[in-house]
Amino acid sequence: MNQAYAVTAVAVVVVATVLIGGLGLRISRTTSDFYVASRSVPPRLNAAAISGEYLSAASFLGVAGLVLAQGTDMLWYPVGYTAGYLVLLLFVAAPLRRSGAYTLPDFAEDRLESRTVRRAASAFVVGVGWLYLLPQLQGAGLTLRVITGAPRWTGGLLVAVVVTAAVAAGGMRSITFVQAFQYVLKLTALLVPALFLVAAWHGDGTPRGPFDEPPTFRQHTQVQVEDTLRLRIEEPLTVTVTGTVDATRYRDEGVLLEPGTHTIEGGTDLRFTPGSTVPRPAEHASAGTSSWAEPLSGSRDAHPLYSTYGLIVATFLGTMGLPHVVVRFYTSPNGHAARRTTLVVLGMISAFYLLPPVYGALARLYEPELIMTGGTDAAVLLLPGRLLGGLGGDLLEALLVGGAFAAFLSTASGLTMSVAGVLTQDLLPSLGVRHFRLATVLAMSVPVAAYLAVSDLPVADTVGLAFAVSASSFCPLLVLGIWWRRLTAAGAVTGLLVGGGAALAAVAATMAGFPEGGWPRALLAWPAVWSVPLGFLAMIVVSLATASRIPPGTGATMARLHLPEGATR
Amino acid sequence: MSERPAPRREVVVGEPLRRRPVRQLGVRSEIDEQTEVGGAYVRGLMRSQLRAGLCGFGVLALLVGTLPLVFAAVPDGLGPWLSGPALVWLVLGGATYPVLLCLGHWYVRRAERNEQDFVDLVEGQ
């Protein structure tokens, strides 16, 4: 990998982000501009911004890595991310815009006329936002380390500083331009190398069988083991070793590894012959998994069908409650435009998601050793060097690195924007833009502190947690709030706490390593299947029990949510 | 006596200048004023929009939500030329997205038609 090109690419993306952010700053003149872009962003631009914000590192790098490590079932992730937008369109998009609120807590208070609901929703927005920010920072750290060997904290800190500066300086308007630019950048950065890679695959005689199980080496492969590895061998495997295996030193000798667990010391060279099976790491069943999806894929082996449905429910229903997604709807001029915008977003992210599966399949063919070393997240970045090499490979690699950084920057800035919005409104007195800037720093500093404190722990798996919690708390609140007149404030708070709390507790227990296996583990690792119905049930039952306390303005609010803008005076 | 002008008689019959605009605006004012009838119109619109949403969601569940069961039912794919994982790759990696887009497109048209019908109803009075 050519460091100079890659570092230049990162620098260009960062500078372009700051420049476009500054351009927006000159345009945003009023407080309203600053917060919600004066509600006048045209659908295409807004849709590009939404897509740019939504396609995070998990999409850009993680999906291909997951396909490499675990096979094609992992493609449920991008399908779920996209279908989540369809569900959002079906039930939420237009009424949410017509509610005229700016954040989820605004919606909750407006609909249910209660400060308590507002506070509960605020807590969940900030919590989900922070959970989602952490893996963005960690992904940036990993990427920069893969490229340059820089210490892990560098990449995360770089993203944190750039995002805080861009958001605090320009607010929503500049973020809209930045995000739209980053969508185009991400799509280009994945599309152009993909075309060259597919051509190279064709030139290689279109080798077949990328999804054969278990994965095998197609050609002579030499692997330099950096950190000490423990490998699980299923069938006897002969490798040529220079270094230390199972505490015995070898020097360019053929070694027969019997089935069982073997320790490879750091610095050892392994050479595999074509046709030999790729060994998997022994540490956790899920090692080699993309770090962005760990808890969601942690127990897939035990009950794959249940796990798949857990993933489907979490992503289909969780998208509507992600704070950085929801806040974007207030920038559409009206409900009609909000609906059109969502449809364009659906098209844009669909186009993007056609690409990661291609990288996943090529990675299975050309770099299966990443499964062994656990570096599957780097699969996308390393492919051009592997397939093409030379100057072309270096340039395409730089393009991919730039795209990956755009992914970290855009998702992180959207999240920071929405968390800061909620902090400004609910925690700090709303005295204007100055406090928004202060809130931006606060919104970013907590995840940065967590990132620096626990950078060695597998905390990156919080993306799945964020989706499950959002599906169990905000999905019932939004769907019932928009379509059911008998929802009460007490019901909403209970549902938020019971549904979201249960999902949170379940995944926290899984991450702590409890329980060991079988159905209890599957149920806790994939809580959405039961925690979403639980949230709905709690909201409905408590609302019916407190039927005398239906907010007095419900009729008027419902009319406002559902009537087309032209139909009222 | 008869030349004396008759005392001016003022008859108060209501508020002629501030006549309620019900007759001109019909349904629209019913909605604005939160009357029973207006509420019924809003409920009607909500019902038709909810039906459209549920319809789209049902088709999504039927077409995409059942895929894991389909994949579990044919683990070996479609014979030697299309293995199970390759089938999953083709369906989830490409074929699903046009379905999602078509569903979204259908829903937007349906929802906009519902709203247009509603506006026609209001304007038509």
Q: Which residues in chain B are closer than 8 Å to A353, comparing Cβ atoms?
A: 97
B82 in A contact zone (CB under 8 Å): no
A303 versus A104: which is more confidently predicted?
A104
pLDDT tens for A431-445 read 565 677 788 888 888
Three-state DSSP class for residue A266: coil
pLDDT confidence tier of residue A236, bands split at 50, 70 and 90 = confident
Closest by Cβ to A71, choosing from B49, B85, B108: B85
A242 by DSSP, 3-state: which? strand
CB contact under 8 A, A559 and B42: yes
**CA-based nearest residue in chain A for residue B88:** A72
Q: Cα distance from A393 to chain B (closest Cα, Å)?
A: 25
Contacts of B57 in chain A (CB under 8 A): 87, 90-91
Q: Which of A299, A288, A222, A235 is nearest to A262 (CA)?
A: A235
A568·B31 Cβ contact <8 A: yes
Mutate to test the interface with A, among B45, B46, B63 (most CBs of A within 10 A): B46
Burial class of B44 by CB neighbour count within 10 A (0 to 12, 13 to 18, 19+)? middle
Pair A36, A436: CB distance under 8 Å: no
Instruction: Name every chain B residue with its beta carbon within 8 A of the beta carbon of A566.
Output: 119
Pairing of the two strands A221-224 and A269-272: antiparallel
The b-or-e profile of A306-332 (16+ CB within 10 A means b, else e) is bbbbbbbbbbbbbbbbbbbbbbbbbbb
CB A500 within 8 A of CB A469: yes
C-alpha distance from B59 to closest chain A C-alpha (Å):
11
pLDDT: which is higher, A407 or A330: A407
A567:B28 CB<8 A: yes
* Amino acid identity, position A97: R
Residues B45, A90: C-beta atoms closer than 8 Å: no
CB-CB contact of A27 with A173 (8 Å): yes
Q: Which residue of B has its CA nearest to A64?
A: B93
Helix axes A528-545, A304-318, angle to 10 degrees: 50
Token pair 């894991």: residue: B68
Q: Which residue of A has its CA nearest to B124?
A: A567
Q: Which is nearest to A318 in space by CA: A439, A471, A506?
A: A471
CA atoms within 13 A on the CB side of A327: 31
The token pair at A120 is: 């509960």
Please check the confidence at residue A191 and state whether its pLDDT lies above 60.
yes
Higher pLDDT among residues A201 and A36, named by residue:
A201
Do the beta carbons of residue A97 and residue A329 sit within 8 Å? yes
Q: B6 at the A interface (CB within 8 A)?
A: no
Q: Provide ipTM, 2 decimals.
A: 0.86
Per cent of chain A over pLDDT 70 is: 86
Residue in this structure with the two tokens 């998009």, named with its chain if needed: A93
Percent of all residues in chain A with a pLDDT value above 90, rounded to a whole number: 24
Residue A482 neighbours by CB distance under 10 Å? 25
Chain A contacts of B46, Cβ < 8 Å?
483, 558, 562
**B 24-43 residues with CB below 8 A of A?**
28, 31-32, 34, 38-39, 42
Cβ A265 vs Cβ A225: under 8 Å: yes
**CB–CB contact B83 A211 (8 Å):** yes
Q: How many CB pairs under 8 A join A and B?
A: 123
Query: Which of A73, A354, A566 is closest, CB to CB, to B88?
Result: A73
Q: CA-nearest residue of chain A to B114?
A: A564
Per-residue pLDDT, A295: 38
Residues of B in contact with A316 (CB under 8 A): 60
Which candidate in A63, A82, A86, A332 is best for mutational testing of the B interface (most B CBs within 10 A)?
A86
Q: What is the pLDDT of residue B16?
A: 46
A208: region left, alpha or beta (phi > 0 left; psi from -120 to 50 alpha): beta
Q: Is B48 near chain A, with CB under 8 Å?
A: no
Question: Under DSSP, is residue A237 helix (H, G, I), strand (E, B) or coil?
Answer: strand
Look at residue A113 and tell me whether its pLDDT is greater than 60. yes
What is the reported pLDDT for A346?
A: 94
Q: How many CB atoms lie within 10 A of CB A206?
A: 8
Structure tokens at A514: 């409890």
pLDDT digits (tens, 9 = 90+) for B63-114: 999 999 998 888 777 777 777 888 889 999 999 999 999 999 999 999 999 9
How close does chain A come to B15, measured CA to CA in Å?
23
Confidence of residue A296 (pLDDT cuts 50, 70, 90): very low
What is the rounded CA–CA span in Å between residue B124 and residue A527?
50
Would you say residue A569 has pLDDT above 60?
Answer: no
CB contacts of B50 in chain A (<8 Å) are: 483
Residues of chain B with C-beta less than 8 angstroms from the C-beta of A305: 68-69, 72
What is the spatial distance between Cα A464 and Cα A312, in angstroms, rounded to a whole number?
11
pLDDT tops 60 at residue B12:
no
- What six digits make up the tokens of A105? 């807590």
The answer to whether B112 faces chain A, any CB pair under 8 Å, is yes
Report the chain B residue with the minimal C-alpha distance to residue A558. B42
Q: Does the N-terminal peptide bond of residue A368 adopt cis geometry, omega within 30 degrees of 0?
A: no
Which chain A residues contact residue B69 at CB under 8 A? 305
Domains of chain A from N-terminus onward: 3-204+286-567 (1.20.1730.10), 221-277 (no CATH)
Q: How confident is the model at residue A286 (pLDDT cuts 50, 70, 90)?
A: very low
Model confidence band, residue B35 (pLDDT cutoffs 50, 70, 90): low
Half-sphere exposure of A155 (CA within 13 A, CB side): 30
Angle at A20 between CA A17 and CA A23, to 5 degrees: 150
Residues A123-155 have pLDDT tens digits of 899 888 888 888 788 778 877 777 777 777 788
Mean pLDDT of chain A: 81
Q: Say yes or no: B21 contacts chain A, CB-CB below 8 A.
A: no
Q: Quickly list DSSP for A408-445.
A: HHHHHHHHHHHHHHHHHHHTS----HHHHHHHHHHHHH
Q: Residue A350 is encoded by which pair of tokens?
A: 């669909």
Taking the CA of residue B123 and the nearest CA in chain A, the distance in Å comes to 8
pLDDT over 50 at A291, yes or no: no
Q: Closest Cα of chain A to B5: distance in Å?
A: 48
Closest Cβ opposite residue A562 in set B45, B71, B98: B45
Do B32 and A564 make contact, defined as CB atoms within 8 angstroms?
A: no
What confidence score (pLDDT) does residue A298 get?
Answer: 43
- Interface check B75 vs A, CB under 8 A: no
Contact A72 B94 (CB under 8 A): no
Contact A476, A506 (CB under 8 A): no
Which has the higher per-residue pLDDT, B42 or A144?
Answer: B42
Q: Locate the domains of chain B by residue range.
A: 22-123
